[in-house]
Amino acid sequence: MIAASNGPAQERVRMPAVAGQFYSDDPVELRRDIQEYLSHGKKLDSSPKMLISPHAGYVFSGPVAGFGYAALDKNIKTVILLGPPHHVPVRGLAAPGADWFQTPPGRVAVDTARVNKLLAERLAYEDPAAHAPEHSIEVQVPFLQVALGSFKIVPLLVHDIDPQNAADAIFPLIDERTVVIASSDLSHYHTSAEAKAIDRRTIGAILAGDIQGDLDACGEMPIRVVMALAKRMGLSPVLLDARNSFETAPQYGSEGRVVGYASIAYIKKPAGKK
């Protein structure tokens, strides 16, 4: 839901769709949960310029997502969020038609200057109806609120587009204080053993930089866009964690029907390191 607030500019606010479902709607409890997930991560040789991060309910995917967010540079000022649509079909890059994203801890500003650049060049279009019920971008925002200082977001739903064309559109928006995050879970509804085998193949293709490779992931297109950007930017992928929902929360699920998750960072490796 996009709500208009009273005021001279009629600011547009994208309200949370899954607070109280995918994550706690209590700000104190939510911050405590996220800090626990972040506590298991560690800093890398260099701060990630991009991440692949899961987007399920926090009890399931939060432990995996925490590894990526813990590695971020706290001085990041712009976060480009690429998510797959689960509810409304999208063609290309869809912006939310909003100035703010509301979450339990508060509002996060949309980087309207960067979004408007895409819109003006007809590289994206506004689709509030696609964003309103969508969780893939929303669940990343509270992690960012805890992990970073002051920042803005460029939230884009991505589907039915050539990954290279999407990367070409997004690349000019990136500077030294920008991070790009592809939101994606991996395989769905296999046994834990089957999921591990399937996810190993998907992760292998990602780590190999195979943009055309076989990816069993709901955020396949955001991942491919990040892979194309990584090639252009000279970044290397690093696997931080990979588990499925039975491994992260066996008390809530079945070993016979799991969802896979991975946290992958893209970094510039120091000279001399392979």
Query: Beta-carbon neighbour count of residue 123 at 10 Å?
Result: 19
**pLDDT for 1:** 65
Assigned token pair, 34: 């996220």
**pLDDT for 43:** 86
- Domains delineated in the chain: 2-267 (3.40.830.10)
* Sole residue written with tokens 């992931």: 217
Torsion of CA 226, 232, 197, 161, to 10 degrees: 50
Q: pTM to 2 decimals? A: 0.94
Assigned token pair, 185: 């879970």
Encode the chain (274 residues) as per-residue pLDDT tens digits. 666 554 445 889 999 999 999 999 999 999 999 999 999 998 898 999 999 999 999 999 999 999 999 999 999 999 999 999 999 999 999 999 999 999 999 999 999 999 999 999 999 999 999 999 999 999 999 999 999 999 999 999 999 999 999 999 999 999 999 999 999 999 999 999 999 999 999 999 999 999 999 999 999 999 999 999 999 999 999 999 999 999 999 998 778 899 999 999 999 976 555 5
Say how far apart CA 33 and CA 49 lie, in whole Å: 25
